[in-house]
Amino acid sequence: MSDNAIDLEELSGAETLESAELRSKAAEIKKIDPFIIFNDYHVYLEPIHHEGYSMVRCMFHDDETPSMKVYFDKKHQKYLFYCYSEQRTWDVIDVLVQKGRYRDWE
């Protein structure tokens, strides 16, 4: 695994953590290109790249045509995933934790 490898067990509750160090680490992870992170966990999204964003098949529903946009949100300084079908937004930690498959990727 690369230097960007994540201890997801440690960060799975990052939103409620009282540790400033872990919140800081979570904020830094959210700035890392999600394709690097997912490749570390052997999840290949097969992105279709466009200028400023990529489209992938949504991981939360059957998706024949990519409906999930992956982009860097400059205002919040993190990568976000937006599914047009579900009309919902996630960050990289949300995706890894909510998908509940991170144990399979280790």
Q: What is the pLDDT of residues 44-94, one digit of tens each?
A: 678 888 999 999 888 888 888 899 999 999 998 999 999 999 899 998 888
11: Cα within 13 Å, side-chain hemisphere: 24
The angle that helices 20-29 and 92-99 make with each other, rounded to 10 degrees, is: 100
Token look-up 């904020």 returns 27
Nearest to 77 by CA among 60, 63, 91, 97: 91
Measured between alpha carbons, how far is 92 from 37 in angstroms, rounded to an integer?
9
**C-alpha radius of gyration, the chain, whole number:** 13
Average pLDDT taken over every residue of the chain: 76
